[in-house]
């Protein structure tokens, strides 16, 4: 019996031989050296990424490049605006805390959704959108809020100023790409319209805060004279 088992181990069955062959083929493929250098167009490289030309599009290469450049700029502005407005949402204090706090969340929802639309439009044109933290930090306009908790009037002024700067740049982008790609231009137009609506509402709240401050000051002055 022992000799029989020994012979069976020394001469594997056909199934065992096939299994061994598959394992040897797999080991050989893993031992092959990795290819270095750039991948061919539309072919995955070793990291699994693909070239820019994966997506075909009706627009020519030069036009797509010009439009995508403005879309990327808009994406950076919108992501930065989202982060700024959310930070202000967290740190605002004052008589109008609740209304400003909630209004800033509405602005965040608008800019976050708009950034998603812009990024998807760029991807549909065969361009890779870049909203990574490194890119936003490098390419954003550098606008920052003051440190610490902030009075509602300071938050309103800061966010309105930031929104105004963003909408001005958005309008410039619309003018540049309007004749190149009406679809992208219409997308930016709709987003800018919403941003300007937020700017209007925040300025209205800003005026209310200023009026309340003046009323309080006048009341104090009357009390003193009395």
The pTM of this model reads: 0.71
At 27 the pLDDT is 53
Task: Write the burial class of residue 58 (CB in 10 Å: 0-12 exposed, 13-18 middle, 19+ buried).
Answer: exposed
From its phi and psi, is residue 77 left (phi > 0), alpha (psi between -120 and 50) or beta?
alpha
At residue 9 the predicted structure's pLDDT band, cuts being 50, 70 and 90, is very low
What would the pLDDT profile of 15-39 be if each residue is shown by its tens digit? Answer: 445 555 555 555 555 444 434 333 3
Residue where the block lists tokens 């056909």: 14
The mean pLDDT of the chain is: 80
Ordered by where they begin, the domains of the chain are 59-217 (1.20.1260.10)
- Asked whether residue 5 carries a pLDDT value surpassing 70, the answer given is no
């Amino acid at each position: 019996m022992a000799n029989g088992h020994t012979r069976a181990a020394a001469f594997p069955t056909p199934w065992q031989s096939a299994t061994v062959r598959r394992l040897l083929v797999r080991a050989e493929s893993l031992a092959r050296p990795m290819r270095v250098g750039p991948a061919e167009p539309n072919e995955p490289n070793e990291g699994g990424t693909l070239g820019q030309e994966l997506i075909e599009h009706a627009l020519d290469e030069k036009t797509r490049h010009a439009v995508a450049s403005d879309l990327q700029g808009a994406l950076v502005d919108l992501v930065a605006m989202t982060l700024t407005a959310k930070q202000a949402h967290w740190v605002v204090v004052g008589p109008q805390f609740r209304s400003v706090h909630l209004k800033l969340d509405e602005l965040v929802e608008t800019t976050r959704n708009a950034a998603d639309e812009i990024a998807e439009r760029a991807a549909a044109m065969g361009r890779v959108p870049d909203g990574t933290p490194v890119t936003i930090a490098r390419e954003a306009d550098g606008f920052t809020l003051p440190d610490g908790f902030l009075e509602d009037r300071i938050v309103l002024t800061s966010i309105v100023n930031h929104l105004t700067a963003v909408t001005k740049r958005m309008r410039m982008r619309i003018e540049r790409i309007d004749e190149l790609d009406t679809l992208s231009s219409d997308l930016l137009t709709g987003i800018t319209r919403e941003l300007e609506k937020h700017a209007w509402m925040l300025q209205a709240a800003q005026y209310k805060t200023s009026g309340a401050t003046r009323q309080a000051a006048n009341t104090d002055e009357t009390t003193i004279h009395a």
